[in-house]
Amino acid sequence: MQNKIKPELLAPAGDLEKLKIAVLYGADAVYIGGEAYSLRAKAKNFDKEAMAEGIRFAHEHGAKVYVTANIFAHNADFEGMADYFKEIYELGADAVLISDLGVFAVAREAAPDLEIHVSTQANNTNYQSARMWYQLGARRVVVARELSLREIREIREKIPADMEIEAFVHGAMCISYSGRCLLSNYLSGRDANKGACAHPCRWKYHLVEETRPGEYMPIEENERGTYIYNSKDLCMIDHIPDLIDAGVVSLKIEGRMKTPFYVGTVIKAYRQAIDDYFEDPAKYEQKREYYLDEVSKASHRDYTTAFYYGRPDGNQQVYTNNSYIRPYDFIGVVQEASDAEGYAWIEQRNKFSVGEEIEVMPAKGPSFSMTVTEIYNEAGESVESAPHPQEKLRVKFSQPVQPFDMMRKFLSDTK
């Protein structure tokens, strides 16, 4: 495609397994958290050894690794911070994501050659702030989720040509502006701005407001209350041309705490959509429903385009429940390539049984369906089902499989 820059597909990686899956399933880059300074304290995250292995694996496969350090720092957080930035630079990290000016200053001094991206937590809503970050040494800004495509396009026009724009295109939305929220602190004592959010926006509430007569919140959907703060999930897979036209060069998927199945499913779908668009826009147009169907196979809430096409209204919330739509069960991941007879060792994640119809999703190429005909445990005994999580099993496959290919089965109850 002429005069179009192919955007980077940026994937979440909450641990080493998810990093490898993200890269193998098509991510151009991944973002990870270290054991400190990251906004996902509940994710497994990466110690020094895991980070070194992850960076090495990504680079061997032509992908980049960005390390998040986007907390709002207090005085005590600066102890050891300079050494941390030196360490991740020496490990080969391609960039670090930062939202706090003090943290930014420490990173610039400790590792001056480490590229800095400004996190969405910094409330990047205008071109003036982007210019200022650029003058301080940043080379990429992650724009706030609250911006429209029109606003992003204007930022692109008014910032230096070599400054990049990254934007979230898929995943959970936050009820608070750019994720700056004190609700979790107030209700549970867990600091959302230190990575420990309890997600009280997903809880159910009864709300009464005495001083605004005539303004009624939808609080009577059922007898148990309503989930008035519970946002739908963002999905822009069928709007990729608009994102590119607005000047976004990195399409970011949310979900460092999501499952490997979620990461592989979503990344593969976006990889196909981006590649199809750059191969032939008409091909992309014809397959829009297919892409939506593919990302919908991972657990999700109802989808929305959020702020991209205008200010959201009440239809962007899920009022009736806080559960996910879960059409498929992640039942296993292949550990080694299948042998000449079609057998391969897998690690089981959810129960499946002989006689069930399952689907295999390879990192590359189309998925295929098969009936499970043979399962063997580690002792070589034939078994009828696999009920124990993370059990190692030998399974007969109908087509060749490779390490990190994933197995899933359709669920009749999708809620």
Contacts of 45 (CB under 8 A, 6+ apart): 14, 15, 32, 33, 34, 35, 38
Q: Is 190 exposed, middle or buried (0-12, 13-18, 19+ CB in 10 A)?
A: middle
Helix axes 260-279 and 16-24, enclosed angle (nearest 10): 20
Q: What is the pLDDT of residue 317?
A: 61
CA quadruple 203, 206, 211, 214: dihedral sign? positive
Please state, in angstroms and rounded to a whole number, the distance separating the CA atoms of residues 332 and 191. 34
User: Which pTM was predicted?
Assistant: 0.87
| Residues β-bridged to residue 196 | none
Q: What is the pLDDT of residue 212?
A: 66
User: What CATH architecture is 8-176+231-316?
Assistant: Alpha-Beta Barrel (3.20)
CA quadruple 354, 359, 361, 362: dihedral sign? positive
Fold of 328-410: Elongation Factor Tu (Ef-tu); domain 3 (2.40.30)
pLDDT tens track for 199-225: 766 666 555 567 866 665 555 544 444
What are the mean pLDDT values of the chain's consecutive 10-residue runs (415 residues total)? 83 96 98 80 77 98 96 92 96 97 98 97 95 98 95 98 97 72 73 68 63 60 55 92 97 92 96 97 96 92 89 64 76 96 96 96 95 96 91 97 96 58
Q: What is the pLDDT of residue 224?
A: 45
**Buried/exposed 32-48: b ≥16 CB within 10 Å, e otherwise:** bbbeebbbbbebbbbee
Q: What is the pLDDT of residue 91?
A: 97
Please report, for the chain, the start and end positions of each structural domain, with discontinuous segments joined by +.
8-176+231-316, 328-410
Please state, in angstroms and rounded to a whole number, the distance separating the CA atoms of residues 186 and 200. 10
Q: Do domains 8-176+231-316 and 328-410 have the same CATH topology?
A: no
Please state, in angstroms and rounded to a whole number, the distance separating the CA atoms of residues 163 and 173. 25
Q: What is the pLDDT of residue 308?
A: 94
CA 262 distance to own-chain centroid:
8
Q: What is the pLDDT of residue 349?
A: 94
Could you give phi then psi for residue 325, rounded to 5 degrees? -80, 120
Half-sphere exposure of 383 (CA within 13 A, CB side): 19
Pairing relation of β-strands 29-33 and 64-68? parallel
